[in-house]
Structures are given as structure tokens and as C-alpha cells.
Amino acid sequence: MKLSLLITAQPINQKRLPAVIRLKIIDEKEKRVAIARQKGFNEARGDIIASTDADTIPADDWLKMIDSHFVNNPFSLAVTGSWRFLGKKKFVCAILNIFCPLVILLDQIVFGSFLGGSNFAVRKSVFNQVGGFNTKLLVYEDVDLSLRLNKIGKVSREQKIRVSTSARRWEECIVSFKKFKELLLIYIFNFFSQAIYRKPKFNHFYDIRSKTEVNEQSKD
């Protein structure tokens, strides 16, 4: 199995990468997630492309479950899974892990199944057919892709395709009203904007990491 690692506008210490993995490192200087995802997908080879994020840990059987889904569902264009939030503030994670499935259910009613950027896979042929990611978007590029895929076929959800992801953004909302307001605008208002106008109202995202943190990570 060959994996591609996409590094977006940040340094990396390659000595930390496992030598046993055949890893292709793709560098993207511009710090925009849609552009980064598009570049990675363009470079990827194979019929199915699986996607996750740097702050997310897929389950040990993640790729196996994705492969099993497409083998057993030949008409499925793409599939997304389930999330478990991890972090230092346990009560924040508990709230997220209770409400996240409810939000996903609401999204399914409004959008049909949507793809979460940190946990999904798609057939490369249909990804190319709908034009890939909208690289003008700073947020909701995954939902935008989902809407276009839903127009031509089935986007699926499999609870067994599991990842654990960071609750850091939500934890910071407790101590920063500015970041709390940002998340409300990005997630809540954009949800209704996507549902009604098929595009996000607020096309921006604050940077969760300082330059100091990025530099320290590159030295580890």
C-alpha cells in the first residue's frame, strides 16, 4: 500500500515518519485546505481516495472498512463515517460526542449524506467528474463536494468507518468569546447558508496554531 502525506504551508521533520511506510510527501505552500486537498487528490493514484486530517487518528481497520464498503456497495460514489472527539477537557468532548451524531442526522435530512473532510473516501472517477474541490472556498469544501456528488448518485455513511479527532477548537471556545463567535458563524450560519443558497455565508477560518507552535513541531 502506498500513502500520500500532504503538508500544507508548514515545515515537517521527516525523521519522525515511519521508515516502513512507502510515503510520498507532497508540499503545498498556500495555507488553504481546499487547495491542499485538491493537490493531494490530483497526485493520488488508484480508484478510491481516502482522506483524513493531521489532527485525526483513523481506527486500525479504517482502510479495511472503506475497502469493504466499496466492494459491497458498487453503486456508492463516496462514503463517510463516524467521529469521536478527544481532548484535555473531558466535559467538552462528552458534549460533542453526544451532539455530533444529532448534527449529522440533521445534515443528512437537509443535505443527504455529507462528507466530513477528516473521514471520507470517494471514487476518483466521480471526484473528477464533478470537478473536484472548489478551491475558492476556505471552509465547507467537503460539504460543497458532497452536494455535487449527491446530484449524480449515492453518497453513503458507515458508522464502522471510525476516526478520533481533536476537540481543540471547541475547547478554546470556553476561554475565548471571539473564537466561540467564529465557530458559530462558520458552523451554524454556514449550515443554513449551504442548505438554502448552496454556498457558505462566511468563507473564512481562524488559524488554530500560532507560528511558534508550528516551528516547535518542525523541530521535534
Is-contact 159 81, C-beta < 8 A?
yes
Number of domains in the chain: 1
Task: Take residue 13 and report the three cell numbers written for it.
Answer: 521533520
Cα distances from 134 to residues 34, 92, 100, 146, 198, in angstroms, run 7, 32, 25, 11, 12
Within a domain: residue 193?
yes
- Residue with the larger pLDDT of the pair 14 and 187: 187
- Please determine, for residue 14, whether its predicted confidence score (pLDDT) is greater than 80: no
Res. 219 pLDDT band, cuts 50 70 90: very low
pTM (predicted TM-score) = 0.79
Residue-wise pLDDT for 119-157, tens only, equals 999 999 999 999 999 998 888 888 889 989 999 999 999
Residue 204 domain boundaries: 50-123+137-219
Within a domain: residue 18?
no
Euclidean distance between CA atoms 134 and 194, whole angstroms: 14
Within a domain: residue 105?
yes
For range 167-196, the mean pLDDT: 72
Predicted local distance difference test score (pLDDT) of residue 205: 58
Within a domain: residue 152?
yes
Task: Take residue 14 and report the three cell numbers written for it.
Answer: 521527516
Within a domain: residue 6?
no
Residue-wise pLDDT for 201-213, tens only, equals 666 555 555 444 4
Within a domain: residue 76?
yes
Within a domain: residue 104?
yes
Q: State residue 173 phi and psi, 5-degree precision.
A: -65, -25
Cα distances from 188 to residues 16, 103, 120, 194, 200, in angstroms, run 37, 10, 22, 10, 10
Cβ contacts of residue 69 below 8 Å, gap of 6+?
Answer: 76, 79, 121, 156, 158, 161
Euclidean distance between CA atoms 203 and 147, whole angstroms: 17
Nearest CA to 96 out of 170, 182, 177, 185 is that of 170
Predicted local distance difference test score (pLDDT) of residue 105: 82
Cα distances from 55 to residues 17, 48, 119, in angstroms, run 16, 22, 11
Task: End-to-end CA distance of the chain: give it in Å, rounded.
Answer: 27
Within a domain: residue 132?
no
